[in-house]
Amino acid sequence: MASAAEQLAANLNFSALGKATELKNRIWFTLGALLVYRFGTYIPLPGIDPSAWEQIFRTQAGGILGMFNMFAGGGIHRMAIFALNIMPYISASIIIQLMTTVSPTLEALKKEGEAGRKTINQYTRYLTVILAAFQAYGISVGLEGAGSVVSAPGMFFRISTVITLTGGTMFLMWLGEQITSRGIGNGISLIILSGIVAELPSALVGTFELGRQGALSTGLILIVMVMSVAVIAFIVFMERAQRRLLIQYPKRQVGNRMFEGQSSHLPLKLNTAGVIPPIFASSLLLLPTTIANFNAGQGGEIMTWFTTNLAHGRPLFLFLYIGLIVFFAFFYTAIVFNPTETADNLKKHGGFIPGIRPGERTAEYIDYVLSRITVVGAGYLAIVCLLPEILISYAAVPFYFGGTSLLIVVSVTMDTVAQVQGYLLAHQYEGLIKRSKLRGRGR
């Protein structure tokens, strides 16, 4: 006979959404918040000439500006008040996570529970302000040196740009936290997802327009579409893949009753690092090329070498791209998953892996398994990002069809759908309990 949880999971469908009032409110709040974000990506910075910036952006769209514009939902293309998007907050979060591995103070805060997490979050916000202000000042200086983009260059323009862009980032950080607590899904991830998805229609139109003009063949466009579908299916399969380690719990006695030993599983995701490796790898490789393009004719042979050898599709670029993805896959996995801490928690609760001694030996075994599945995960990330990268470089296909963008869209969508299903399952479970209580009173 199936258990109640299994019956609920079998009967779970989105028709129950109409009865889940709280879930509907959360979804409407999320949609409203994302609409506010999209509106902000169309408000330009004060003091700039949008048409002049449009011409400059087109010459740099193949570099780091194009990739960041994808994450910013077109905010950089329009040089909007949300041009920095949420990227300074993501960078600050990663830096704080890195510092927790080397700073005893931060590591102690991490182990303090909710109070420690609040303190770390506060440090992350402070660092976000610093990074956003630094990047905003760099943007203001770059805009002033880009020609006739700025109508009135000077310190006033720089200060106003820093305040506007930093304020935009802090507002998005607050908006993301509100979505996480009052909406559905992870707010920060949904902001990035909405930016990518919102620009997909224009990317499709641009691709079809290139096909109409003869710049892209019909066969190549069909190959891109088929490959995008295949990559999405591959991402779904690999993101769900995991290695499950058997955990055994011994018999225990409570009072006069003896409880049999139980078993569970410790799931290890094939791709623990998520989308961080391709984002970091792309940023590091595109940065030298973008600097070289902005300083064309001023850097001599060094800048020319960077522009030539680190261009899209070049052998050196592809080789370094794969190497950095693999490196960051292992590096970030080591940050977010601590085998020693996991082994200690299992030992405290009496759990053990059959055939493995609890404690240090368990930590070594978990690290052994995690290292080997990370090899497969890093290879998967390299394949997903490499094939679209070749198309982007040789066929001028937009960034939105690249592996990084597809990986973000699929991963965030899967997580959000899982949360919606969780709310629906909890709603149905609560209804089942209420009906059971009513029946009990009727008897």
Q: What is the pLDDT of residue 8?
A: 41
Residues 221 and 145 in one domain: no
Please report which confidence band the pLDDT of residue 1 belongs to, taking 50, 70 and 90 as the band edges: very low
Q: How many helices (H) and strands (E) does the chain have?
A: 16, 4
* Token duo for residue 288: 């030298």
Query: Within a domain: residue 133?
Result: yes
DSSP characters over 359-420: THHHHHHHHHHHHHHHHHHHHHHHHHHHHHHHHHHHH---GGGSHHHHHHHHHHHHHHHHHH
Q: 117, 110 in Cβ contact below 8 A?
A: yes
What residues contact residue 128 under an 8 Å CB cut-off, 6+ apart? 88, 89, 92, 169, 170, 173
Core vs surface per residue 231-246: b (16+ CB within 10 A) or e? bbebbeebbeeeeebe
Tell me, yes or no, whether 65 and 183 share the same domain. yes
412 assigned to some structural domain: no
Mean pLDDT across 124-128: 91
Residues 247 and 152 in one domain: no
Phi and psi at 30, nearest 5°, equal -60, -45
Domain end residue (candidates: 395, 411, 426): 395
Highest mean pLDDT (candidates 33-37, 222-226, 301-305): 33-37
The answer on pLDDT for 3 being more than 50 is no
Report the pLDDT value the prediction gives residue 420, as an integer from 0 to 100: 83
**Are both 196 and 301 inside the same structural domain?**
no
The verdict on 294 and 320 lying in the same domain is: yes
211, 225: one domain: no
On whether residue 432 sits in a domain, the answer given is no
430-443 pLDDT tens trace: 666 666 666 666 55
Residues 183 and 222 reside in one and the same domain? no
Residue 341 sits in a domain of what CATH number? 1.10.3370.10
Q: Is 194 found in the same domain as 83? A: yes
Q: Determine if the pTM surpasses 0.95.
A: no
Verify that 211 and 237 share a domain, yes or no. no
Is residue 431, in this structure, part of any structural domain at all? no
Residue at 153: amino acid letter: P
- Mean pLDDT is highest, among 80-89, 278-287, 403-412, 418-427, for 80-89
Q: What is the mean pLDDT of residues 389-399?
A: 63
The larger pLDDT score, comparing residue 63 to residue 149, is at 149
Does a structural domain hold residue 423? Answer: no
| Residues 91, 85: Cα–Cα separation, whole Å | 12
Domain with 286, as residue range(s), is: 217-252+259-395
Torsion of CA 308, 321, 94, 289, to 10 degrees: 10
Q: Which residues contact 437 (CB under 8 A, 6 or more apart)?
A: none
| CA contacts within 13 A on the Cβ side of 439 | 6
The number of domains in the chain is: 2
Is the pLDDT assigned to residue 118 strictly greater than 80?
Answer: yes
CA 360, 364, 369, 375 dihedral sign is: positive
Asked if residue 207 and residue 285 are part of one domain, the reply reads no
Give me the chain's average pLDDT, please: 79
Per-residue model confidence as pLDDT tens digits over 8-67 = 444 445 455 556 677 888 889 999 999 999 999 888 888 888 888 888 887 766 556 666
Are residue 373 and residue 236 in the same domain, yes or no? Answer: yes
Same domain, 158 and 306: no
Mean pLDDT of 391-400: 62
pLDDT at residue 139 greater than cutoff 60: yes
Tokens representing 312 are 């899209």
State yes or no: pLDDT of 164 exceeds 50: yes
